[in-house]
Amino acid sequence: MRSYEELIVEVIDVRGSYYQIGLQQSKVLLSHSHPIQNGFPNLTNKTNVQMAKQLLQFHCPSLVQEMEGLAVGLTQTTDSVIKMYSGYNITFPEMGCTSFVQNGKYIRNYDFSPTLYDARLVFSNPMNGYASVGFSQQIIGRLDGMNEFGLVVGLHFVNSEYHDEGFIASTIVRILLEQCKNIEEALKLIRELPHGYCYNYSMTDQSGQSIVVEASPQKQEEKYGNPLICTNHFEATSMKEKNKKNIQGSVNRKHFLNSLVEKNLTTMATYRHFNNGNSPLFFKHYKEYFGTLHTVIYSPKLLEVIVGIGEDAEPIIISFKDYLDEALTLPKRLTGRIYPHNEDGIE
């Protein structure tokens, strides 16, 4: 029998003012050891706290309010919380992600290491902001998510070699979900935000259009597509020079998804292609920060989320619409299994 590790993702429900949401998140942090706190303080040692605070106050003051509540709950200073969780000038290991948008559904694999994975699916319903659901990173940030208007955004690491002062992608995803109702609004805002590293951002909304924004600290390029495929490399001529030297694994994943386009698969058949442990889209190099941790499908028109944790997971369907209508009891956690690969290698 194959050796596996159990992966537990907590389902978090926060609501109220952003300050109150910060307080609620602090209780979760105090009851669980968070990876950023436990052994990885060097990730944030270059953070310019005052600049981070100034930029957030300008672009998304609600996140400052959330971190103020978080600071009170953790009995820390606001500056220390901003340094730890704002995602400004943070250094972070490479990660992989594959997204596919077809027939109004956004499906995605997130590939990283369980040692730096928040393992939190957060349902947030602030009294003075947009409600959203998504997987968190560094508590404040989001790896992917969907808001109450059906805007879906996910991040895709490209390269950390070309960097500047700015936010990591998980903070940018959160800001877009907080501020924007659709792709048009997201495009306007993403051009204004300071980008710390090179990432792709895949997006869709209730209109059915979808887009990839290729973003470096210096500039951003846009590419619409339907269906849309996004992995971990830039394709715009003006951006290719910022790719890693070896992008073949990312290119291979895109080729595989292109082969699925004409099959026009059902939602669940597509899910199986992403979540099956033998799929070219599923990886097990967890020690090298490249193992698939979750598969998620966001449905903007239905306001529905389908989640699978780990490998060959039975998908869990959750109605975000029912959550917004306060007609849903959320599960406390989602569980799955991962089977770490014994060989080295990153795809």
- Give the CA distances from residue 300 to residues 36, 71, 344, in Å, rounded to whole numbers and listed in that order: 31, 33, 37
**Cis peptide, bond prior to residue 280, ω within 30 of zero:** no
- For residue 333, is it within any domain? yes
Would you say how long the chain is, in residues? 347
Mean pLDDT of 162-183: 96
Distance CA 152, CA 172 (A): 13
**SS3 at position 235:** coil
Domain of residue 224, CATH code: 3.60.60.10
Q: Report the DSSP pairing between strands 228-230 and 284-285.
A: unpaired
pLDDT in tens, 112-168: 999 989 999 999 999 989 999 999 999 999 999 999 999 999 999 999 898 899 999
- For residue 184, is it within any domain? yes
pLDDT in tens, 290-335: 999 999 999 999 999 999 999 999 999 999 999 999 999 999 999 9
SS (H, E, C) 32-101: CCCCCCCCCHHHHCCCCHHHHHHHHHHHCHHHHHHHHHHHHHHCCCHHHHHHHHCCECCCCCCCEEEEEE
CB count within 10 Å of CB 192 equals 9
- For residue 91, name the pLDDT band (cuts at 50, 70, 90): confident
- For residue 28, name the pLDDT band (cuts at 50, 70, 90): confident
For residue 37, what pLDDT is reported? Answer: 53
- For residue 27, is it within any domain? no
pLDDT in tens, 214-233: 999 999 999 999 999 999 99
Distance CA 157, CA 284 (A): 18
Look at the chain and report how many structural domains it folds into.
1
pLDDT in tens, 181-217: 999 999 999 999 999 999 999 999 999 999 999 999 9
- For residue 182, is it within any domain? yes
- For residue 307, is it within any domain? yes
- For residue 121, is it within any domain? yes
For residue 345, what pLDDT is reported? Answer: 45
Structural domain span for residue 268 = 5-14+92-338
- Residue 66 near residue 19 (C-beta atoms within 8 A): yes
Residue 73 half-sphere exposure toward CB, CA atoms < 13 A:
20
- For residue 229, is it within any domain? yes
- For residue 48, name the pLDDT band (cuts at 50, 70, 90): confident
- For residue 29, name the pLDDT band (cuts at 50, 70, 90): confident
- Write out the two tokens for 68: 């103020």
Distance CA 48, CA 70 (A): 19
- For residue 175, is it within any domain? yes
Mean pLDDT of 333-340: 96
